[in-house]
Amino acid sequence: MWGGRTLAGMDCYGLCLELARRDGVILPDAIWAEAPEEIEKIVNETELKGFTKADKPQPGDLVGFMLRPPFVSHIGYMVSEYEFIHVTKGTRVTRERLDSLQWNRKIAGFYRWIK
């Protein structure tokens, strides 16, 4: 559900907001409240407002995926060094591994909240 921010329906970033909140971190929602093209533009900037790119993922980092190259168009929430949680349209919340064939080739980067 694009723009979903409630337990009744969340998009990929809405899920990240909720998971971060449960970990005691409040991520900004306003920078992601634009149309998908705007999210892609923001995510592809070297530094997102309040986020920095990380070389190695840690729990709590966001992982960006290029489902529609050359743009980052999907975000997941890292729960370990190798696993992330995400949701895509028409699916349930899923925990997956970064090294799976489905996701490994699509990783665009890891984003750490620094504020």
58 CB-contact burial (10 Å; exposed 0-12 / middle 13-18 / buried 19+): exposed
Domains of the chain: 8-113 (3.90.1720.10)
* Residue with the larger pLDDT of the pair 45 and 80: 80
Helix (H) or strand (E) holding 47: none
Lowest mean pLDDT across 1-10, 29-38, 73-82, 85-94: 29-38
Is the predicted pLDDT of residue 46 greater than 80, yes or no? no
Is the predicted pLDDT of residue 83 greater than 70, yes or no? yes
- Return d(Cα 103, Cα 99) in angstroms, integer: 7
With CA atoms as reference, report the closest residue to 36 among 6, 2, 64.
2
DSSP assignment of 52-79 equals EEESS--TT-EEEE-SBTTB--EEEEES
Determine what percent of the chain falls in helix, strand and coil, rounding each to the nearest 5: 25, 30, 50
pLDDT tier for residue 49 given thresholds of 50, 70 and 90: low
Read off the pLDDT of each residue in 6-34 and give the average, rounded to a whole number: 80
Residue 113's alpha-carbon distances to 8, 19, 91, 94, in angstroms, are 26, 13, 26, 22
